[in-house]
Amino acid sequence: MTVADMNLDLKDRTIILGVTGSIAAYKAADITSRLTEAGAKVFPVMTSSACRFIQPLTLQVLSRNPVASDMWKEGEGWQPGHIELADQADLLLVAPATAHCLALFAQGLAPDLLSSIHLATPASVMLAPAMNGKMLAHAATQANIETLRSRGYHFIAPQSGMLACGYEGDGKLAAVDTIVQSVKDFFANA
């Protein structure tokens, strides 16, 4: 085994990286790069709000795969592309996961491509929340998190620190190192 092979902890793993509309969406570029370097096949799926924070082309270049963001612009084949992608996944990682995303997932709603893939995939789901601390602490958000935990979803806890809104507190996206290591640990223990 070469030194390069030793760094391929995620070789032959297919990860759908969901990116939602948080200012932390820019960190998806680093997450994509690091997962790809570790050998994973990363397929970014961005919400329309995420596309306002970071351009899909960035994730396309870093993942070496097309970025899916619009359910109405799927491939030309007979099978809906989001179902095909959902079937291939070993893990659905959403980083950052907004309060809106958590609510959609908890309620089983599918108004966009990411939430449709979520409902269709048999893969495990890992969520890295990022939002204002007050939104995170809200009873509805906490109930959604508990609902998802009860379904066996994996969470990467947000950090405490200065938030984009100017407040200090919980809700900051976990460090990229923590997110990548959580994915590696998930597969090492699977």
E strands, 38-158, in order: 41-46, 91-97, 124-129, 154-155
Q: In what order do the strands lie in the sheet with 124-129?
A: 41-46, 14-19, 91-97, 124-129, 154-155
What is the spatial distance between Cα 130 and Cα 25, in angstroms, rounded to a whole number?
9
Residue 96 CB-density burial (10 A; 0-12 exposed, 13-18 middle, 19+ buried):
buried
| pTM metric for this prediction | 0.92
**Domain total for the chain?**
1
Query: pLDDT tens across 123-175, in order?
Result: 999 999 999 989 999 999 999 999 999 999 999 999 877 667 777 768 889 99
1 pLDDT higher than 90:
no
**Tokens at 133, concatenated:** 């601390």
Place of tokens 């996206």: 173
Nearest to 51 by CA among 74, 67, 31, 32: 67
6 pLDDT higher than 60:
no
Domain range enclosing 17 = 3-188
Q: Which of 61, 83, 165, 175 is catalytic?
A: 165
CATH label of the domain that carries residue 22: 3.40.50.1950
H or E segment to which residue 36 belongs: helix 27-37
In the chain, the percentage of residues whose pLDDT exceeds 70 is: 89
Can 51 be counted among the known catalytic residues?
A: no
Query: pLDDT tens across 29-61, in order?
Result: 999 999 999 999 999 999 999 999 999 999 999
Query: pLDDT tens across 53-79, in order?
Result: 999 999 999 999 999 998 777 655 444
